[in-house]
Amino acid sequence: MKKSSKAIFVLAFLLVAVPFLDYGMAEFLLRDVPEVPVVVGTPVTYGLYFPKTYAVLEAERNGEVIWRAGDTLYVRTSDDLNLPTVYDYRPEIQELIENRSTEIQRILEEVKGGKGDWNASELYLRLSYVVWLNESISEYRDRLDEASVELFPVAGILALLQGLMITLAGVAFAFEIRDFADREPAKALAVAVIFSGLLVVGYAFVFVGYPFHTGHSSIPDGFLAGIQPVERNSSPSPPCLESWYVKASPEVEGIFRKYLRDNPPVYADDPEYSVHYLELWLNESERNALLSGLKDLGAVWVKDRECWDRESLASLDRTETLGKELLDRGYIDEGDFRGLEDSIDAERERIMGMKFPARYRVMVSFVAG
């Protein structure tokens, strides 16, 4: 074999076969990581095209890979990863935490300065705001332990270079095999078929992706067409809000059509043609039954669950606890605290006396499967 042909084959192997094997090894390491149908932003994102195996090992060494969405890994870690940084919002989050801590101290000083003269409702508003600020600070501190790693796919100039090397390797191989095709035609044909298959695999990886599909599909036309929403005139709406991201598929459509016959949605974005988003009002048993069926298909991911009535009651308890602490520290007097308790009791009674049309308000977003 000519030296030029050897060089072409070596370059083709380095630019195509090695990245393919690297991607395969990364997929093997991530075999037990659950996949979710949507990418969620994190305070810091790292990115790496090659080697992907190193990126996965680095993420696992300094943290835990919780889930993945396509080529994006969600990592729980308190350390910096030794990977190229795409963006880092942590300084802004730290500044936000510091500003809210300062705001808490300012409010507490004002409370102390007005000792004995506080209007009950005004004091309740001030202390409930302090409680909210503390909860917000805690949530943002927890977020600082989140990161994502983008395993960038082949793209742009690199893909063209890889494709060029595959083409040159094919041309070099054609010239090489021509030299012994007349002497050993059967052997030459077998080798040509095998090598042609390798070339096709190489092109598929470079221009389509691993394992030979881009992963960018769309929701089928007519998905859930004909689902008609119903009007629910009720105030207040259900207290528990959940966001569901659901992979669209014929099986998923079957589950929703069966369910929505008896429980139509409150809202659907385009019921005449194709529904990508709908809103359901469900009781506990209805919500659990629907969610269970979707989980069996591995087609649902639940995000941002919150029940404002429970959270409000918990916030009232924390506000009352804060009031007791301030009383013990001399920031407020007994009269201030009794007024605060009256305001908290009234708000607690109002929340517990509310009647809801359903327990859950579920916002369903359908995404490509």
pLDDT in tens, 277-302: 999 999 999 999 999 999 988 888 89
Q: What is the mean pLDDT of residues 44-68?
A: 93
pLDDT of residue 238: 94
pLDDT of residue 232: 80
pLDDT of residue 167: 85
% of residues, the chain, pLDDT over 70: 95
User: How far is 190 from 206, CA to CA, in rounded Å?
Assistant: 25
Beta strands 360-368 and 277-282 are antiparallel
Beta strands 267-268 and 277-282 are antiparallel
Tens-digit pLDDT profile for residues 25-51? 999 999 999 888 888 889 999 998 889
User: Average model confidence (pLDDT) for the chain?
Assistant: 88
Of 106, 90, 66, 103, which Cα lies nearest the Cα of 140? 90
Q: Is the confidence at residue 17, as pLDDT, over 80?
A: yes
Angle CA(128)–CA(129)–CA(130) in degrees, nearest 5? 90
% of residues, the chain, pLDDT over 90: 56
User: How far is 343 from 361, CA to CA, in rounded Å?
Assistant: 29
Q: Is the confidence at residue 96, as pLDDT, over 80?
A: yes
Split at pLDDT 50, 70, 90, the class of 6 is confident
Beta strands 360-368 and 240-248 are parallel
Residue 346: HSE in the Cβ half-sphere, 13 Å Cα cutoff? 9
Split at pLDDT 50, 70, 90, the class of 214 is low
Q: Which of 96-100, 182-186, 248-252, 364-368 has the highest mean pLDDT?
A: 96-100
Q: Is the confidence at residue 64, as pLDDT, over 70?
A: yes
Tens-digit pLDDT profile for residues 104-118? 999 999 999 999 989
- Helices 120-143 and 90-113: angle between axes, nearest 10 degrees: 160
Residue 306 pairs in a beta bridge with: 241
Q: What is the mean pLDDT of residues 312-339?
A: 96
pLDDT of residue 107: 96
